[in-house]
């Protein structure tokens, strides 16, 4: 029998929930391989007629047919600083893709001083062999010599603006608390890459106007949830992975507050988990599961009990996690598809089913079948 042990900690006026062990899955699901042989795939988007658009971290974009045949790399990508955690990362289709063929992707962009996360806009050619009209619309500042913590998840809002998550670049974690840089931030921009109207720090002296929220470490999962609110998860250090709801102008605390510790042990900063003016996590993990990818299930393909749940992958332990929610809180966690591999991305397809990418040199695109 599996037992669910909950640990509740009062933090800065809110409750954070940590699950020290995981509940048994509500129903059996099985993985069905759609395609394999993808080199460190990072993100998947859904094209018409059952095709898939998949990024590979080394700097390639491919189309996968419904029968699993993988296209040659698409032409037209900008130069990518592939190495470490950097490369070609997220991709999303414009909500009006059927009309405009437009998409957005983010990648580690080389340049003076090192590299940084960049957001680009492009059109997919009708024959799906190349990108056209490619334009980098936003670049994280400053560029630094690091191959770590790029963040790089894109979410389009119902207003047609874009959220982009930006990592702290590992060696610059104190930057996450400053408004004069983009490290450790969530930014909100238009589809032209300029600050979106209503951003909280617009007009503040010394603050970059694209910033939406601050105090993040390395956000590799983001999705719109109930009420069109942005949900994210982020990697902690050794322990302390978090689920957060970044609202305008809010500070999520990194590296001042964390439930994690330094790699190899030892406190980070003062070793505190709460501080005035800093948001507590909605949910956290100790030990870390290394989360990646995130989606709210809006279909009933897996039964009514799973609809509305939040799904994300575990890179560290190789499973799909389902978080049950009640009144905006995580109340239970289920560990699904144990052993499926390092889950890098989780998306809901047009057919209402979940799709996963496994991160390896021979990565897979996987359909989750009820």
Query: Active-site residues: which are they?
Result: 149
- 3-state SS, 173-215, equals HHHHHCCCCCCCEEEEECCCCCECCCCCCCCCCCCCCCEEEEC
The residue whose two tokens read 């109340």 is 331
The DSSP secondary-structure symbol of 99 reads H
Peptide bond into 127 cis (omega under 30): no
Residue (of 356, 228, 367, 216) closest to 294 by Cα position: 356
The DSSP secondary-structure symbol of 48 reads G
Evaluate whether 20 touches 284 at the Cβ level (below 8 Å): no
End-to-end CA separation in angstroms for the chain: 23
How far CA 159 is from CA of 277, 286, 294, 348, in Å, comes to 28, 36, 21, 21
SS3 145: coil
Structure tokens at 23: 């509940």
Structure tokens at 40: 């460190």
The residue whose two tokens read 């990818």 is 293
Residue (of 287, 292, 295) closest to 358 by Cα position: 292
Angle formed at CA 283 by CA 360 and CA 31, multiple of 5 degrees: 35
Distance CA 239, CA 263 (A): 9
Residue (of 26, 53, 30, 57) closest to 41 by Cα position: 57
Residue (of 232, 282, 289) closest to 260 by Cα position: 289
Peptide bond into 331 cis (omega under 30): no
Quick one: residue 305, left, alpha or beta (phi over 0 = left, psi -120 to 50 = alpha)?
alpha
């Amino acid at each position: 029998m599996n037992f669910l042990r909950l640990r509740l900690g009062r933090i800065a006026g809110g409750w954070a929930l940590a699950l020290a062990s995981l509940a048994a899955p509500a129903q059996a699901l099985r993985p069905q391989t759609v395609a394999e042989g993808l080199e460190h795939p990072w993100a998947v988007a859904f094209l018409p007629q059952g095709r898939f658009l998949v990024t590979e971290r080394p700097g390639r974009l491919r189309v996968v047919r419904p029968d699993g045949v993988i296209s040659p790399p698409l032409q037209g990508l900008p130069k990518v600083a592939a190495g470490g955690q950097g490369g070609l990362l997220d991709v999303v289709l414009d909500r009006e893709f059927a009309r405009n063929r437009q998409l957005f992707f983010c990648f580690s962009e080389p340049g003076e001083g090192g590299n940084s996360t960049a957001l680009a806009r492009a059109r997919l050619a009708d024959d799906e062999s190349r990108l056209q009209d490619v334009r980098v619309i936003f670049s994280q500042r400053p560029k630094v010599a690091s191959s770590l913590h790029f963040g790089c998840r894109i979410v389009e809002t119902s207003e047609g603006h874009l959220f982009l998550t930006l990592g702290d670049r590992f060696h610059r974690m104190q930057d996450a608390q400053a408004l004069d840089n983009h490290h450790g931030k969530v930014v909100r921009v238009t589809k032209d890459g300029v600050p979106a109207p209503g951003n909280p720090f617009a007009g503040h002296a010394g603050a970059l106007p694209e910033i939406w929220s601050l105090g993040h470490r390395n956000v590799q999962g983001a999705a719109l949830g109930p009420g069109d609110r942005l949900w994210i998860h982020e990697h902690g250090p050794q322990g302390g992975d978090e689920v957060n709801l970044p609202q305008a102008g809010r500070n999520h605390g990194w590296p001042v507050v964390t439930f994690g510790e330094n790699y190899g042990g030892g406190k980070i900063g003062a070793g505190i988990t709460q501080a005035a003016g800093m948001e507590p996590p909605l949910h956290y993990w100790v030990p870390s599961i290394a989360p990646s990818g995130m989606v709210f299930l809006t279909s009933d393909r897996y039964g009514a009990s799973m609809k509305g749940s939040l799904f994300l992958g575990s890179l560290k332990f190789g499973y799909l996690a389902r978080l049950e929610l009640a009144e905006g809180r995580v109340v239970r966690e289920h560990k699904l598809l144990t052993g499926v591999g390092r889950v890098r991305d989780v998306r809901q397809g047009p057919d209402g089913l979940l799709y996963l990418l496994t991160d390896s040199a021979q990565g897979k695109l996987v359909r989750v079948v009820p």
